[in-house]
Amino acid sequence: MGRIAVVPGSFDPVTLGHLDVISRTAGIFDTVHVVVVHNPDKEALLPIAQRVRLLEESVAEAGVKGDLVIATWSVGLLVDYCTEVGAHVIVKGIRSQVDVAYETPMAIVNRNLAGVETIIMLPDPGHSHVSSSLVRQVAALGGDIAPYVPHAVVDYLAQRAK
């Protein structure tokens, strides 16, 4: 079955920072499940199915190599998904100490719940200021999001705004 990693997130929308983390993870693990999870703490911009479509288009456009599965999970704990697909590792990208503080308790709880370890991935520092919430705000106010997201997202949001 090989080494399997899960890269979870809201991906609302997928950013160049996410793509960087996905691509680096695919370089280490045999199979990478990119899992779109609804985060009730955040007001959503895109429906889950659209986030999946944009992820699919974006990894294709970026030429990410490896065995990638784009999936969604909404019926329970993220670690239940991990157990279901035989993954013992979650990979999270972090940009700053704020992200470390946010991820640490989740990582410990996920390990306690199901023995799933979390590995922190450092993206290219060029992406360290990029977040989906920033992209949502810039897009809502009519700004240029092209430096932060894949072309598929730029095109989709431009189409949607018409």
- CA 134 to chain CA centroid, Å, is 15
- Report CA dihedral (72, 75, 80, 86) to the nearest 10 degrees: -40
Q: Which residues pair with 78 in a beta bridge?
A: none
10 binds ligand PNS (CB under 6 A): yes
58 binds ligand PNS (CB under 6 A): no
CA–CA dist 143, 30 (Å, integer):
38
Contact by Cβ (8 Å): 160, 46: no
Near ligand PNS in 121-150, by CB under 6 A: none
x/- track of binding to ligand PNS for residues 74-93 (CB under 6 A): ---xx---------------
Q: Which is nearer to ligand PNS, 49 or 65 (CB)?
A: 49
Q: Which is nearer to ligand PNS, 28 or 77 (CB)?
A: 77
Q: Running DSSP on this structure, what letter comes out for residue 125? A: G
CA–CA dist 144, 154 (Å, integer):
9
17 binds ligand PNS (CB under 6 A): no
The nearest distance, CB 109 to ligand PNS, in angstroms, is: 5
Angle made by CA atoms 139, 39, 96, in degrees to the nearest 5: 70
x/- track of binding to ligand PNS for residues 23-42 (CB under 6 A): --------------x-x--x
Q: Which is nearer to ligand PNS, 56 or 99 (CB)?
A: 99
Residues in the site for ligand PNS, rule: CB under 6 A?
8-10, 37, 39, 42, 77-78, 106, 109-110
